[in-house]
Structure 1
Amino acid sequence: MATEPHPPQFVLERNQRLSRSLLWGCQRAFFEHQGIEAWRQGLVPNFITSNPVIGRAYAQVVLGWMRDWCGGARGEGGRLLAPDPGQPFYLIELGAGAGRFAFHFLEAFRQLRARSQLRDVAFRYVMTDLPERNLEFWLSHPRLQPFLEEGLLDIARFDAERDEQLELRHSGIVLAPGTVANPLALVANYFFDSIPQDAFSLHDGVLHECLVSVASPRPEPELAAPDLLERAVVSFEDHPAEGACYGDVELDRILADYQERLDDTTFLFPSSALRCLRRLQRLAGDRLLLLSGDKGHASEDELRERSSGVSLVKHGGAFSLMVNYDAIGQYFRRRDGQVLRPIHRHVSLHVAAFLLGQPPDGHGETELAYEEAIEKFGPDDYSTLLKRLAKHYEEMSLEELLAALRWSGWDSGMLMDIFPVLVAQAESADEPLRQEVCWAIQQVWETDYPLGAEEEDLAFHLGILLYVMDRPEQALTFFEHSLRLCDEEPGTYFNQGMCHVRLRQDARALECFERALALAPDFSEAREMLSQLQSPDWRQGPEEDEEAGGAGE
């Protein structure tokens, strides 16, 4: 039987150490080329680490950690003071991406701190990333402007593979070793899985390095092309590791321990993450909190259970790998640090806290906050239950839908998911429940962090929800938001027209229907309403009560 011949493969690199592979150059090129579009188009998974629930959970842990470090000094009224009251606590987010997590964290942190004894302790959140386009997006984002003006937020470009200091764009301050007076917090969500790491395997007690080869079905004149990964063929091959792999005492010692304790298995090694943490540890003066959420392996038991082979997951022109949190934990423990992780296994997201340095009375407040916000019910539990709940929205009452929205921290993504059920329930609800829906709409709107050119127009849908509850004036406000933030749509102008009809503002309704027809000449509903408005019998019969939504719903 004749078979199809395999297409020729052009080898781009053969048997290279994974952390030195050309794949990482493609990764950088992809993110620098895409900028914020990587998140706007949904190319990079991010919801699980960028929602109000995880933002509030991290804020609680950071506040507990600050209380531990401020426990040794108090000001007037018993208010806590930082170790150096003249400087803020800094929190650096590595790979802040679209900025959604930072926004949700800061919203929660500002509210929680205002009600605590830490309200006078200075704090500054620093968003960092590699693509310059991301920094420009943050600096111009309206949701981040209040935090920038307040001095609660700053921005810096940071290369996790090289940089040892950060130059803050808004304040002009340079954070360098010896200049950061207070302990430092780090956030690294979906970050360590996307920077260089290596792969190893053990066979009968012998350590092998999993070397990578990359091929393409066509010649590649540019080996760092942002789209190369989409067609690249990636394979791994085990080769015996000889001598000290890194020439770095700390990293080689962790590898040696794995060789002694692990049976036959394959594991990833976060070499770049550990070097980055070492540089940031110097910046922090050895007083550090790292909060990190990612898909990964948290213990040696989990590493032992791994099947053979290296799993590289592609996301369009980018990729990610699992994170070896056990190795990161070993790094911290070897420096007399502490690791906090859930006692149960994660389903989608492992969230761990790593601590260096010793506050006056230990890390009791940090441990308590982590237990309450992460371990008992944390971001992974929320994501797990949300997936189950999403299968039952159609069965839920309006009260249950509102409870789900509250549980989500007024997440706009959840509102969009439940919208068809919510709008039907709200239309037939009594007035007290409608008032609750109106309040929920405002909470969701204030919690939303738009990326621009949204696939789902939140303002448009909120306007429809208000219209069916007979709030045409409030609905108009959201339809105006829709036109300002998204593309002009004939359905939005039609809905505005229907609001003006209900408000008996016929001249303005005419303008809206005409605008809708100018954009969509075949828009029959708009043409019908225009004809009715121009009829001499208009408003002599029963008052019109057409539905909003039109062609734009």
Structure 2
Amino acid sequence: MGNYIDLENKVSLSNSCIWKLQQDYFKKLGKSAWEGQVPFYVTSNTKFSFSIANIVFNYLLELISKNKVNIDEPLYILEFGSGLAKFGFHFMTKLAELKDTHNLSHIQTPYILTDLPEENMRFWESNKQLKPFLDNKQCDFAKINIENFSNIETVKHNFIIDNNTIKNPLIVLCNYLIDSVPHDCFKISNNQINEVLVSTQIKEDYKNKTIDHLNQLKFEFSFKEINNDHYEDPILNDILNNYKETIYDSHILIPTSGIKILKTILNKFSKNTLLVVSDKGWSNKKFIDQQGEPHIAFHGSFSLMVNFDTLKQYTESIGGSSVITSTGLSGLKTGLFHLSENLNLFSKTITSFNSYLNATTDDFLTIKNSMLANIDSLSANVILSLLKYSEWDEKIFSSVSKRLEKVLPNEPMNIKLEFINYLPNIEKNIFEVNLNNSITYLDLGNIYYSLAEYKKAKEMFNYYNERNSTDWASFHNLGLALFYLREYDQAMSTFKTALNLKADSEISQEWVDYIKTEYLEVNSK
């Protein structure tokens, strides 16, 4: 098991060394932190990303109708903690489509990706799917520390964003961010409130204060009595005292960094800001009561539940308003927080928020997981419905592609034509992080081939082979597509490439012999 050493003893949770370790973890691993360790699918799938884009677009429409947008100036959309930028890609894709449909493409809405690890920024700049947005000034990126920033200066196009340059309302998006930055914790019982202090230990083989897996940490909690003016911020003290009077017996998390983000936006950027926060957490007081010690969830990094009620109270205390999804005891929540406007005056925005999120966020994941658990019994028609409901999510498509290869050839022509018509939507939603994402091109090639769409199959196999030149199956299947396109010379060459990758492939050799005998030698006579 190994012995443990002390890292700290009885400190406020927000001052704990664990947050610096969290930062170091992401700095060290960069984008690889999201490749199998840190979960992000819940807020980066197409269903969720398109929903947020629709809500923001409806807000934009209402700003225009209320003459609150200067169409000659950019309306910035900032995303804090962008990670791989997969959400950003889907969001920008959908927003551009909506603007185009409504003849609003002339409205500038630069999307600013932000994060701390520099490797993430190098990935964004090199990513093929982000490139068109970056080149057209529809997107840029900046390095910021969410704990301490006063302005944003972008890397590629040198946008400077602060309270002197913002001429339009500001939109800020935070996905799975607040749960991973500093919180405080308090224990309330019988109208008494104590601060929860944390003592942290780690195995003694811990070196140089960098660790790959934060679950090596061990925590103990203790209590310290506090007075009514614990914080310098009187609004936070009022919120704490309100909890003391209304909560019977519970541990209360206070998202101090989430509050700091609100205050930074208000003081350094613009009070005319819509903040959209999506995270795991609780949405009202009745769910906050009766909570035990803070649960620190480990998943490569670590995270805590977000107390959306505190964000709501704080926003309303500074003259703003909020609306938060109400479904479920816990799980993913999304909140709209306007720092100065009454959101009830934005009826289309609220209607779209309720329509897109209150009935779909957790429900979508439940339906998706249930259907994929029974994949072997799904018909092509049911799979088509799932893909439509998911807004053509590439991960779901890859999960069902093997089943589709099996059932599609026996389906009636009308089902096949629907797939042929809709499969390009999957292509548009591919966001490449590594070869695991590129395999969607291979899956598409196989499905197009099963539908006898050999030209599209050829295109998809070529895309995949450009990214992975060692996959025998892809080259062999490309050879088949080329054969049925009557491109016999290229088919021969491709089958030979497949043989170079798998010399004992009898089927590839049979195709080489067949094409040589039946087509190339005949045509040469």
Residue in 1 aligned with 2:472? 490
Residue in 2 aligned with 1:411? 393
- Which deviates more, 498-507 or 280-289? 498-507
CA contact (8 A) 2:438 2:464 kept: no
Shift of 1:242: 4.8
Aligned with 2:78: secondary structure?
strand
Over the matched positions of the two proteins, sequence identity in percent amounts to: 24
CA distance in 1, matches of 2:24, 2:505: 44
CA distance in 2, matches of 1:271, 1:385: 35
Shift of 1:331: 0.6
Residue in 2 aligned with 1:369? 352
Residue in 2 aligned with 1:176? 162
CA contact (8 A) 2:151 2:269 kept: no
1:353 correspondence with 2:361: no
Aligned with residue 41 of structure 2, among 44, 47, 54? 47
Residue in 2 aligned with 1:28? 23
Shift of 1:527: 3.6
CA contact (8 A) 1:59 1:108 kept: yes
1:334 correspondence with 2:317: yes
CA distance in 2, matches of 1:328, 1:42: 31
Superposed CA RMSD in Å reads 2.4
CA distance in 1, matches of 2:335, 2:469: 41
CA contact (8 A) 1:236 1:310 kept: no
Q: Which runs of 5+ in 2 are unaligned?
A: none
CA distance in 1, matches of 2:258, 2:287: 20
CA contact (8 A) 1:26 1:228 kept: no
CA contact (8 A) 1:208 1:239 kept: yes
TM-score, length-scaled by structure 2 = 0.93
Aligned with 2:110: secondary structure?
strand
CA contact (8 A) 1:348 1:384 kept: no
CA distance in 1, matches of 2:327, 2:190: 30
1:436 correspondence with 2:430: no
CA distance in 2, matches of 1:431, 1:228: 51
CA distance in 1, matches of 2:342, 2:236: 27
Shift of 1:399: 2.3
Residue in 2 aligned with 1:93? 79
CA contact (8 A) 1:201 1:265 kept: yes
Instruction: Flag the 1:360–1:429 CA change in 2: closer, same or farther, 3 A.
Output: closer
Query: How many corresponding residue pairs?
Result: 522
**Amino acid in the other structure paired with 1:420:** K
Shift of 1:483: 1.1
CA contact (8 A) 2:185 2:195 kept: yes
**Amino acid in the other structure paired with 1:459:** Y
CA contact (8 A) 1:483 1:489 kept: yes
Within-5 A mapping of 1:15-414: 15-39=10-34, 41-73=35-67, 82-116=68-102, 118-223=104-209, 225-227=210-212, 229-242=214-227, 244-306=229-291, 308-316=292-300, 318-345=301-328, 348-358=331-341, 362-375=345-358, 377-414=359-396
Within-5 A mapping of 1:464-543: 464-533=446-515, 536=517
Q: Which runs of 5+ in 1 are unaligned?
A: 1-5, 74-81, 542-553
**Amino acid in the other structure paired with 2:5:** F
CA distance in 1, matches of 2:212, 2:395: 29
CA distance in 1, matches of 2:497, 2:142: 44
**Amino acid in the other structure paired with 2:480:** M
- Which deviates more, 496-505 or 410-419? 496-505
**Amino acid in the other structure paired with 1:411:** D
CA contact (8 A) 1:346 1:380 kept: no
**Amino acid in the other structure paired with 2:429:** T
Aligned with 1:121: secondary structure?
coil
CA distance in 2, matches of 1:478, 1:405: 19
CA contact (8 A) 1:398 1:422 kept: yes
- Which deviates more, 340-349 or 261-270? 340-349
Instruction: Flag the 1:476–1:72 CA change in 2: closer, same or farther, 3 A.
Output: closer
CA distance in 2, matches of 1:461, 1:117: 35
CA distance in 2, matches of 1:294, 1:455: 25
Shift of 1:52: 1.6
Shift of 1:154: 1.8
CA contact (8 A) 2:179 2:279 kept: yes
Shift of 1:313: 0.8
CA distance in 1, matches of 2:258, 2:411: 53
Q: Which digits, 9 at most, give the CA deviation of each residue in 1:303-345, with x for residues without a partner?
A: 1032x211001112x1111111110001101012111123433
Shift of 1:206: 2.0
Aligned with 1:254: secondary structure?
helix
Shift of 1:516: 2.2
Instruction: Flag the 1:177–1:505 CA change in 2: closer, same or farther, 3 A.
Output: closer
CA contact (8 A) 2:321 2:341 kept: no
CA distance in 2, matches of 1:493, 1:115: 39
TM-score, length-scaled by structure 1 = 0.88
CA distance in 1, matches of 2:344, 2:480: 64
- Which deviates more, 229-238 or 416-425? 229-238
Aligned with 1:93: secondary structure?
strand
Shift of 1:163: 0.4
Shift of 1:194: 0.8
Aligned with 2:166: secondary structure?
coil
Instruction: Flag the 1:305–1:99 CA change in 2: closer, same or farther, 3 A.
Output: same
**Amino acid in the other structure paired with 1:66:** L
Aligned with 1:36: secondary structure?
helix
Q: Which digits, 9 at most, give the CA deviation of each residue in 1:71-105, with x for residues without a partner?
A: 333xxxxxxxx443332211111111111111111
CA contact (8 A) 2:321 2:340 kept: no
Q: Which digits, 9 at most, give the CA deviation of each residue in 1:259-312, with x for residues without a partner?
A: 222111012111111012110122443111111111101111111032x21100
Shift of 1:461: 1.3
1:462 correspondence with 2:448: no
Instruction: Flag the 1:148–1:7 CA change in 2: closer, same or farther, 3 A.
Output: closer
Aligned with 2:436: secondary structure?
coil
**Amino acid in the other structure paired with 2:94:** A
Shift of 1:69: 2.7
Instruction: Flag the 1:401–1:7 CA change in 2: closer, same or farther, 3 A.
Output: closer
1:448 correspondence with 2:430: yes
**Amino acid in the other structure paired with 1:193:** D
Shift of 1:371: 2.3
CA contact (8 A) 2:80 2:113 kept: yes
Aligned with 2:411: secondary structure?
coil
CA contact (8 A) 2:81 2:177 kept: yes
CA distance in 2, matches of 1:113, 1:505: 42
Instruction: Flag the 1:359–1:320 CA change in 2: closer, same or farther, 3 A.
Output: closer
**Amino acid in the other structure paired with 2:357:** I
